[in-house]
Structure 1
């Protein structure tokens, strides 16, 4: 018979509770628990799956009460050349450089933009909200402005919408249109209603089209607007609500 508590109430694994309280990521919480840095009712617990109530008041992390913190919701205009990670094993600059010395607590990127891509990137300490935004089936549509080599025609736009199979995945866009044409290149507006790794680059590459720049300009109804490159701001309560599941902008 298990010696774990069995009182009434819905219980979750200890690491999950620490993460849901906005104190650290799930993986970081698991590491801290295994290192013996977490106590429950005064006793060190090293099992990340040890069941506790979500609102339990007897949890301590590094000797301090592990109370829930107010969740943060931010947007960043990501510059090209930064990696979307907290730490990079190759020593490359990461998106966290843009926050400087701001005391934001633990925040994590909501989804990703690859190193060569720019634009709207969200951050939050709310794992449940972040999971909803990132969900490829239920999350909000994402809009990109893409500079390509060459001049597109109606056949290319139709092909992007029809989709292709690549590496076992079906890739397609929700919508695509020409924004403006130059002498040798053009800007497209591309809307994705699903999320795949490097989806736009892979789609265009399959048609022999090279991407020169890729800028995410909107997630759902939340637009990058005039936010300067490398700058960030807090989302408003209304913006946070708009990105919850069920508030999808189609």
Structure 2
């Protein structure tokens, strides 16, 4: 009886290190270029060197690469932090919230700009993150937005229909009024895609300024009562529901 076995899936070595949750692909390429990575005892300096994804022959600085358990976290991002590992202008980053935690390499899943706050995901699993960020299949994102005006129903409908701004068509999946004050209002806006500063630019097209912007949910995962600046691990069920295979 002849058994046909599929050859192991191979990717460039830098991508394999990233997929295994060791570091970012850029960091991996740097380590490889520095001669810090070996495969079966051989120093590899080509980040694109074909490597089996599940290879147990990879070592970094002479230490065999151990398989890491996937990490999926949620953070209540405070306003004023930038979503990056390091900031060239010296501003505080979201990684300040993880100081003292032994998590290894984790990366943000998507972004929130400096002035925005609320639910932000992190993981060491690039494939899981990519499925969440996929504009076609990824989960919706829900935001509560404080605006400096009280939009009319026709304006909310127009936000859903969309407008052309800066060469892009910007729209919301849904937009509704939550509550009003004397001079401003809170809106709930749901997006099914993520463009740079999308909500701020969309509302600006209607001469409405965003005073606060809080992401309160991604798919069925709600920010809930998680304190600002705090984080927690997702349950296996939560992680699976956000990024189904």
TM-score interval, normalised by the smaller of the two chains: over 0.9
- Quote the Cα distance in structure 2 between the aligned partners of 1:113 and 1:76: 11
Task: Provide TM-score, normalisation by structure 2.
Answer: 0.96
Structure 1 match to 2:221: 222
Alignment of 1:116-195 (within 5 A): 116-195=115-194
Greater CA deviation, 223-232 or 156-165? Answer: 156-165
- Quote the Cα distance in structure 1 between the aligned partners of 2:8 and 2:93: 41
- Quote the Cα distance in structure 1 between the aligned partners of 2:206 and 2:153: 13
Alignment of 1:1-250 (within 5 A): 8-245=7-244
| Secondary structure of 1:183 counterpart | coil
| Secondary structure of 2:111 counterpart | coil
- Quote the Cα distance in structure 2 between the aligned partners of 1:154 and 1:55: 54
CA RMSD of aligned residues (A): 1.1
- Quote the Cα distance in structure 2 between the aligned partners of 1:227 and 1:8: 45
Deviations along 1:41-94, one digit per CA (max 9) or x if unpaired, are: 111100001011111111101111112211110000000000000100000000
Structure 1 match to 2:3: none
Aligned partners of 1:18 and 1:66 also within 8 Å: no
| Secondary structure of 1:116 counterpart | coil
Aligned partners of 2:162 and 2:170 also within 8 Å: yes
Greater CA deviation, 34-43 or 117-126? Answer: 34-43
Q: Count the aligned residue pairs.
A: 240
Greater CA deviation, 111-120 or 67-76? Answer: 67-76
Q: Cα distance, 1:245 vs. partner?
A: 4.1
Greater CA deviation, 198-207 or 160-169? Answer: 160-169
- Quote the Cα distance in structure 1 between the aligned partners of 2:152 and 2:7: 63
| Secondary structure of 1:81 counterpart | coil
Q: Cα distance, 1:168 vs. partner?
A: 2.3
- Quote the Cα distance in structure 1 between the aligned partners of 2:168 and 2:235: 36
Greater CA deviation, 88-97 or 168-177? Answer: 168-177
Deviations along 1:69-121, one digit per CA (max 9) or x if unpaired, are: 11110000000000000100000000000111100010000000000000000
- Quote the Cα distance in structure 1 between the aligned partners of 2:119 and 2:157: 26
Unaligned runs of 5+ in 2: 1-5
Greater CA deviation, 27-36 or 204-213? Answer: 27-36
Task: Provide TM-score, normalisation by structure 1.
Answer: 0.94
Aligned partners of 2:179 and 2:187 also within 8 Å: yes
Q: Cα distance, 1:9 vs. partner?
A: 2.4
Aligned partners of 1:83 and 1:94 also within 8 Å: yes
